[in-house]
């Protein structure tokens, strides 16, 4: 199942021209899987990790919408 998730994330990143992202799967209030995709800094080839800190813009809409 995680293989499908990884392929999906990679395809969405390519389709939307995203440089990098970090994904976490949470079950029963426990983080069971994390992975970074792409680059945090493309010029320096610094990869995204689960610990990468991203700048946030307007993120309340998706949070309010999903729950």
Catalytic residues: 58, 61
Q: What are the b/e assignments for 14-26, b being 16+ CB within 10 Å?
A: eeeeeebbbbeee
CA–CA gap between residue 57 and residue 59 (Å, rounded): 6
């Amino acid at each position: 199942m995680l293989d499908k998730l990884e392929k999906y994330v990679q395809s969405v990143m390519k389709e939307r021209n995203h440089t990098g992202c970090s994904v976490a799967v949470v079950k029963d209030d426990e983080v069971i899987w994390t992975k970074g995709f792409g680059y945090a800094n493309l010029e320096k080839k610094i990869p995204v990790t689960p610990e990468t800190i991203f700048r946030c813009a307007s993120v309340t809409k998706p949070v309010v919408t999903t729950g």
